[in-house]
């Protein structure tokens, strides 16, 4: 594309783009839109940086309360694109009904794979090797050794084999696991082997030593890990959840944890945040991290690269990446 043609095409992009990262901190933003900074502020009371009615592309603030993230949507009458900085879009989906038809919702595929997969492996290794017990013993000045399970020679089942699930398998490769089984909403074949449909879970669960959840939260996956799912897991198996808390039936999980049959490592919980006094805090055999799969030093450079690329596509009227749905489209029904 010539410079003259590029300038002509970007000149007709009028309207505001709301960014949760200060625009002057993002190198390479294309010319055309007016870039405004909005992340809700530290306490969630930041005033809107402009008239929401003039916003044409809204990048949802990251790690802010729901009212900050979705509050402006109902006022954005010219909106064309909603871009999240999360892999999951379940929170935003609940408010898309306020938008006009034709708005594209895009997720942050490519931003969180490295960080979330890292945490999935961290939780898995820490749980198997008993790191939480070592920390507690250290605090008491106790030297407590003993044999612990290794990740080597274990069968791992990944439930949710999208970009994050594949990144998890990438990081499993050096650990000499015996086998990796993959499950997703649709059956397919990859270079590493078959991806099984969810209907194959009853047959796969009894063979897995480690079950890692990385599936999106949908109507199909909400409560997927219920009493029947957990009962099919082998004695001594480890459940790792880096997906969404509501994928797991908390009551059913507590029952299995309290009888000591399985263990769990949870980056997400239901409810979330997990309130003080909740029985999950004190359940035996559970390691809990406070939903930190995405927020690491890996986040910001990848988020900026995504935004620069996506905005270049937007101003040049090119197809956007990571489109989850378009409001009003037949496929939404």
DSSP 126-178: HHHHTHHHHHHHHHTT---------STT-EEEEE--SHHHHHHHHHHGGGT-S
Residue-level pLDDT at 176 = 97
Q: Which one from 75, 196, 278, 291 is the annotated catalytic residue?
A: 291
Preceding amide of 151 cis, omega within 30: no
Range with the poorest average pLDDT among 44-53, 227-236, 283-292: 44-53
At residue 12, the pLDDT reads: 56
User: pLDDT class for 98, splitting at 50, 70, 90?
Assistant: very high
Which has the higher per-residue pLDDT, 330 or 24? 24
Of residues 300, 323, 235, 318, the one with CA closest to residue 27: 300
pLDDT(187) > 50: yes
Q: Residue 330 pLDDT more than 80? A: no
166 forms beta bridges with none
Give all domains of the chain, ordered by start, each with its CATH number: 3-111+298-332 (3.40.50.720), 113-288 (3.40.50.720)
* In the predicted structure, residue 240 carries a pLDDT above the cut 60: yes
The closest of 244, 250, 252, 251 to 214, measured between CA atoms, is 244
**What local confidence, expressed as pLDDT, does residue 127 receive?**
98
pLDDT score of 59 more than 50: yes
Confidence of residue 1 (pLDDT cuts 50, 70, 90): very low
Beta carbons of 158 and 214 less than 8 angstroms apart: yes
**What is the model's pLDDT at position 115?**
96
CB-based contact 255:284 (threshold 8 Å): no
Q: How high is the pLDDT of residue 6?
A: 43
Rounded CA-CA distance 15/315 in Å is 11
Contact (Cβ atoms closer than 8 angstroms) between residue 21 and residue 323: no
* Mean local confidence (pLDDT), 216-225: 94
Task: Based on the residue annotation, tell me whether 291 is a catalytic residue of this protein.
Answer: yes
* pLDDT of 14: 81
Tell me the whole-structure pTM to 2 decimals. 0.87
- What is the overall mean pLDDT for the chain? 93
pLDDT of res. 4: 45
**Higher-confidence position of 182 and 3:** 182
pLDDT at residue 201 in the model: 98
Sequence-ordered list of residues with C-beta below 8 angstroms from that of 2, at least 6 positions apart, any chain = none
pLDDT, average across residues 37-49: 91
Q: How confident is the model at residue 13 (pLDDT cuts 50, 70, 90)?
A: low
pLDDT for residue 96: 85
The CA distance from 38 to 30, in Å, is: 18
pLDDT above 90 coverage of the chain, percent? 87
- Residue 8 buriedness (CB in 10 A; 0-12 / 13-18 / 19+): exposed
pLDDT in tens, 246-297: 999 999 999 999 999 999 999 999 999 999 999 999 999 999 999 999 999 9
């Amino acid at each position: 594309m010539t410079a003259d043609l590029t300038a002509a095409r970007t000149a007709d992009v009028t309207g505001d783009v709301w960014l949760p990262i200060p625009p002057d901190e993002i190198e390479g933003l294309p010319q055309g839109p007016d870039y405004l900074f909005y992340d809700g502020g530290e306490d969630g009371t930041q005033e809107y940086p402009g008239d929401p009615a003039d916003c044409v592309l809204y990048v949802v603030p990251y790690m802010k309360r729901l009212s900050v993230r979705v509050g402006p949507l109902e006022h954005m009458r010219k909106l064309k694109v909603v871009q999240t900085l999360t892999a999951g879009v379940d929170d935003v989906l609940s408010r898309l009904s306020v938008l006009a038809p034709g708005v594209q919702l895009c997720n942050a595929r490519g931003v969180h794979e490295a960080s979330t997969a890292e945490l999935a492996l961290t939780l898995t290794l820490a749980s198997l090797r008993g790191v939480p017990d070592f920390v507690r013993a250290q605090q008491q000045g106790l030297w407590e050794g003993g044999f612990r399970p290794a990740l080597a020679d274990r069968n791992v089942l990944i439930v949710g084999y999208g970009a994050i699930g594949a990144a998890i398998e990438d990081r499993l490769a050096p650990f000499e696991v015996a086998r990796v089984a993959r499950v997703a909403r649709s059956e397919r074949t990859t270079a590493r082997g078959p991806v099984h449909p969810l209907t194959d879970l009853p047959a796969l669960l009894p063979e897995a030593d480690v079950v890692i959840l990385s599936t999106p939260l949908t109507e199909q996956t909400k409560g997927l890990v219920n009493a029947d799912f957990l009962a099919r897991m082998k004695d001594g198996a480890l459940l790792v959840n880096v997906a969404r808390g509501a994928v797991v039936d908390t009551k059913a999980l507590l029952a299995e944890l309290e009888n000591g049959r399985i263990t769990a490592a949870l980056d997400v919980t239901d409810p979330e945040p997990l309130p003080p006094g909740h029985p999950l805090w004190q359940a035996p055999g559970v390691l809990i991290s406070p939903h930190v799969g995405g927020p690491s030093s890996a986040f910001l450079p990848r988020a900026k690269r995504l935004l620069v690329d996506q905005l270049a596509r937007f101003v040049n009227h090119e197809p956007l990446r990571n489109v989850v749905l378009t409001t009003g489209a037949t496929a939404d029904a």
